[in-house]
Homo-oligomer: A and B are copies of this chain.
Amino acid sequence: MILRIDRHQMELPPPSTPDPAGAAVVQELMGGKFGEMSTFMNYTFQSFNFRLRQGARPFYDLVANIAAEEFGHIELVATTINTMLTGAGEKGDLPKPADMLNPQQFIAGGAAALCQDSNGKPWNGDYITSTGDLVEDLVHNFFLETGARNNKLKVYEMCDHPAARALTGYLLVRGGVHQVAYARAVERLTGADLMKLFPSPRIPTDKIPESKPHLEAGLHTKLYRFSPSDYQEVAAVFNGPHPETGDELVVEDQPPEGFPPFDLPAQEGVFAPDYAPEEISEIARKLRVAAGLPDEPTGVVANNGSGNGSVVDKVKDAVS
């Protein structure tokens, strides 16, 4: 089972100019064959289906633990898309059909992320490979991370919205760590040296400005343990030098500290969360009080309040 922590693994920028076409392209990182739904679900199912866990404990722990980090990645991709769409769902101001690539972000969603790829095709369970054969699954995972890195690099190039850039800059670093982890696991089991493939694709992350701060913070060498008690044997696999930088690989015995998310403003034009959201807020306040909770919301968010005024004001609030 899981515990959920209402923090992001990285700090995403607040909403700025809406970019519906760009947000449609970022969908590839959510629901594409090499998107984060795929990494999350591949490792999750592999961990569920893992036989002989005790016997193969370091490998089970590795797969199960990386699965946990990937949940945080689908969260980040969704938030990025939502951020890029904020302002495009304002009352009376929806984008024109000719200016969008994915109309369902507005019709099926409330100016929001979908579980689809950049061509509007839903993610599906066929994107999961979970053969049960440990070496095969690990080689697969290495390749999956390689494909994911390829896709992120391209989305980085195609989308210049600050949220898309921040997202891909971060995910490239974390995906790189997972590539290394799976390469190392394959090496431990077979002796095959996948480390020589790095970086793959052959663009060093330090060329990406948005990756830089994360590299400087050493995030490219750290595998976080996303569990209060379990998956301790990741350290039996994830060690030795990083194939690109030579820095020692490190297991961090806890998750990253995390950042409170921006509370993205209502988009009344698409009824999210309502055509007249202030009524909901008032009901919420009353319920809170009736239940003996504080008058003010107890959640921690990055911005101050989430007023229902104009977009400009909302964004200003968001960035202040």
Contact = CB atoms under 8 A, between A and B. Distances in A.
A72 interface: yes
Contacts of A59: 273, 280, 284
Contacts of A98: 21, 99, 101
A200 B231 CA distance: 27
A150 B53 contact: no
A82 B32 contact: no
A312 interface: no
Interface in A264-299: 264-267, 269-278, 280-281, 283-284, 287-288, 290-293, 297-299
Contact of A293 (B130, B136, B230, B232): B232
A12 interface: no
Nearest to A29: B107
A25 interface: yes
Given A52-B263, A114-B125, A5 B1 contact: yes
A250 interface: no
B133 A150 contact: yes
A183 to B, nearest CB: 9
A306 B68 contact: no
Interface in A105-136: 106-126, 128-136
A140 interface: yes
Contact of A6 (B97, B132, B227): B227
A245 interface: no
B68 A2 contact: yes
A229 B170 CA distance: 25
Contact of A113 (B45, B100, B194, B293): B45
